[in-house]
Amino acid sequence: MRVIIVKDYKDMSRRAAKVVANRIGKKPDLVLGLATGSTPEGTYSELIRIHREEGLNFSKVRSFNLDEYCGLSPDHPQSYHYFMYDKLFNHINIRPENIYIPKGDVENANISCEWYEEKIKEEGGIDLQILGIGRDGHIGFNEPGSSLGSRTRIKTLTKETIQDNARFFKKGEEVPRYAITMGLGTISEARECLLLASGANKAEVLQKCIEGPVSAEITASLLQLHPRVMIIIDEEAAQNLRQKDYYQYAEKMAEELEVSQKFGARKK
Ligand code: GLP
């Protein structure tokens, strides 16, 4: 895992957008896995800026979102459909037919989950998956106890997650108790994962995710088994990491290595 510690939310967003733009530059028809929540919002704004000012082209990009609430229609302001169009899709040149988000308001959600898995396969699999992390360690909506090999399915949300997400809903409006989410097995198959986190309220869970045991209790810890993971977090979120100094040192060394691109054998 490559752990990159930056100053603040703004820097995290800029750095993450740069990674996404770089991958699209290398592969214009990138299959991009997207996340919702407040964490990636800044990254999406920065991507919009790069699209407008530097011509980043999304016309061939295909996207798959991690999750969606059950029981909310796509035009509900708190649905993840609405969020994605509002924060990103309406402002870039991605084609509507290339956008995939689990459907939360269908009669047979199980069929819709299977269809989603098939569609990811048909499009060649996810190249880069953006992830946030919940305070209970979830990625997507894979709450504690999720099977590490799980596929897209319906999950019951924990009380903690419902509480955390209540801030987005109107006062008195009920927060959905179920969601459709890509499974941990689905996420693990992405060729690259980019986990983002900002703020002191994520510090405790990030320490467990990055340095604790791999466990279904903190489902994000599964990323420790993934061959290509980049974690971009700000100083506040990184404050509990035991190996923080090492991650910063390693990052500095990696940058130097990138610049010099040399690693010749040492001579006597
Ligand atoms: C929700 C989403 C997750 C997201 C998490 C954290 O539960 N399903 O994908 O990572 O919230 O949200 P935030 O970024 O607002 O802290």
From CA 56, how far away is CA 46, in angstroms rounded? 11
- Give the per-residue pLDDT at 217: 97
Alpha helices in 27-150 (DSSP H): 41-54, 80-87, 109-122
Q: Of all protein residues, whose CA lies closest to atom 10 belonging to ligand 1?
A: 132
Instruction: Give the residue whose CA is nearest to atom 11 of ligand 1.
Output: 37
Strand 178-181 to strand 153-156: parallel, antiparallel, or no bridges (unpaired)? antiparallel
Task: Give residue ranges with CB within 6 A of ligand 1.
Answer: 35-39, 66-67, 132-134, 140-141, 161, 165
Tell me whether residue 80 is exposed, middle or buried, using C-beta atoms within 10 angstroms of its C-beta: 0 to 12, 13 to 18, 19 or more: buried
Shortest CA distance to 32 belongs to which of 190, 181, 151, 152? 190
| pLDDT on residue 257 | 81
DSSP 194: E
What per-residue confidence (pLDDT) applies to 262? 67
Is residue 59 a contact partner of residue 24, using CB atoms and an 8 Å limit? Answer: no
**Single-letter amino acid, residue 160:** E
Q: What is residue 108's predicted lDDT score, i.e. its pLDDT?
A: 86
The pLDDT score that the predictor gives to residue 176 is 95
Low-confidence ranges of the chain (pLDDT < 70): 261-263, 268
Cα 35 to ligand 1 centroid, rounded to whole Å: 8
Which atom of ligand 1 sits closest to the CA of residue 199? 16
Ligand 1 atom closest to the CA of 40, numbered from 1:
14
